[in-house]
Amino acid sequence: MLLLFHQARASRHEYDPLIPAFNRLGFDTLAIDQRSGGDLFGGHNETVAKRGASTGYLDARPDLEATLAWARARQYATIVIVGSSYSSSLVLLLAAKHPEGVSAVASFSPGEYFADKHRVKRAAAKIRMPLYITTDPAEEVRVNEVLRDAHGANITRYRPSAGVHGASTLVCARDPQGCEANLRSFETFLRKIGGKPAQPHRGTQP
């Protein structure tokens, strides 16, 4: 199961062009509308609409927690959490907090986006499950900072020759120069993790 979290001013529709590729690799997917977001990329963020306004980045953390709890309750053998921009920092916090509940984590364009400018790097240093981390070439310094104290063999750091901010680097309409190579790199990582179906379970989405 891939749990897909969007970037600032966006919605679950950030990942729409990528779902077929993830499904072909054997992964179920769940993308959500976090409370910090909007209508970027043509989608409509229903959570923000219901609340009346977007919140701060860190305020969206409960949305990620609830989504992980939903997937774990359905007994997925493999759960990969994927973040884009601010949520790529939130997934690092989530993975550090739930080492037993996350199989792997993918972080597209993380940074110290929160008030505590050491919070994300502390979390990254605690992660022991497979970690895929990347950003566009212009933002490499942010990844350097996030990984300052994280040096484990579990880390796959991909340095693209061309890219854009967040998970949009995988979408050719948003990153025509780098998307194909960048998606191949991420797919290689996902193949090593392997998608496995959930155990039968009745319930509703978070």
Q: What is the residue-wise DSSP string for 64-93?
A: HHHHHHHHHHTT-S--EEEEETHHHHHHHH
- CATH number of the CATH domain containing 69: 3.40.50.1820
Domain annotation covers residue 202: no
- Distance between CA atoms of 136 and 175, rounded to whole angstroms? 10
Domain annotation covers residue 203: no
For residue 32 the two structure tokens come to 């959500």
Structural domain tally of the chain?
1
pTM for this predicted structure: 0.93
Domain annotation covers residue 200: no
- If you search the block for the tokens 């993380």, which residue do you land on? 110
pLDDT digits (tens, 9 = 90+) for 98-110: 999 999 999 999 9
183 and 168 in contact (C-beta within 8 Å)? no
CA distances from 56 to 53, 87, 145, 200 (A): 10, 11, 22, 36
Residue 201: pLDDT above 60? no
Domain annotation covers residue 49: yes
Quick one: average pLDDT of 86-92? 99
- Distance between CA atoms of 169 and 144, rounded to whole angstroms? 19
Domain that holds residue 17: 2-193
Going by the DSSP 8-state scheme, the letter that residue 105 receives in this structure is E
What is the model's pLDDT at position 204?
37
Angle CA 86–181–78, to nearest 5: 60
pLDDT digits (tens, 9 = 90+) for 157-185: 999 999 999 999 999 999 999 999 999 99
